[in-house]
Structure 1
Amino acid sequence: MAIALKILLVIVSIGLILVVLLQSGKSAGLSGSIAGGAEQIMGKTKARGVDALLNRLTVFLAVAFMLLTIVVVYVTH
């Protein structure tokens, strides 16, 4: 049980890192290249939709990360 929770925690952690890196910031890093391509193909509203989706996914993964961390600590001790 504890091993499965730890594996799930690692997967959620990697997902959270990736989603945060894909978000557009002030400098429009990695997400700028992806959203920029989507903006040319699908218009500007689609790029804003991608940013909104990434924001919601970040919140979901952050909450899942916190809850899983608490559960892993509780199960292992």
Structure 2
Amino acid sequence: MRTLLTILQSIVAIVLIVVVLAQPSKTNGLSGLVSGGAGDTFYSKNKSRTSEALLSRITVISAIIFAALCMIQNVVK
């Protein structure tokens, strides 16, 4: 049982790392300072339908699964 949980946790950890690294940066850097921000664009209004939103959801779900597996492994000991 512990071996299966360890393998699952390793797989979820790798998925979590890949998804976090695949996400774009949320900061604008110096370009946001000069231009003043994004404003109301089509992209900013429909942000919930983009690939960024999908990556964000996958990140949250995999983090919850990772935390649950950590707790389960602690109880199984």
Say whether 1:52 aligns with 2:49. no
Distance in 2 between the 1:15 and 1:55 partners? 13
TM-score between the two structures when normalised by the length of structure 2: 0.69
SS of match in other structure, 2:25: coil
Q: Rg bigger for which structure?
A: 2
- Runs of 4 or more, structure 1, over 4 Å off, are none
Q: TM-score, structure 1 length as denominator?
A: 0.69
Structure 1: give runs of 5+ residues left out of the alignment: 29-44
Shift of 1:27: 6.6
Q: How many residues align?
A: 61
Taking only the aligned residue pairs, the percentage that are identical comes to: 43
Write the distance in 2 (CA, Å) between the matches of 1:5 and 1:26.
33
User: Any unmatched runs of 5+ in structure 2?
Assistant: 29-45
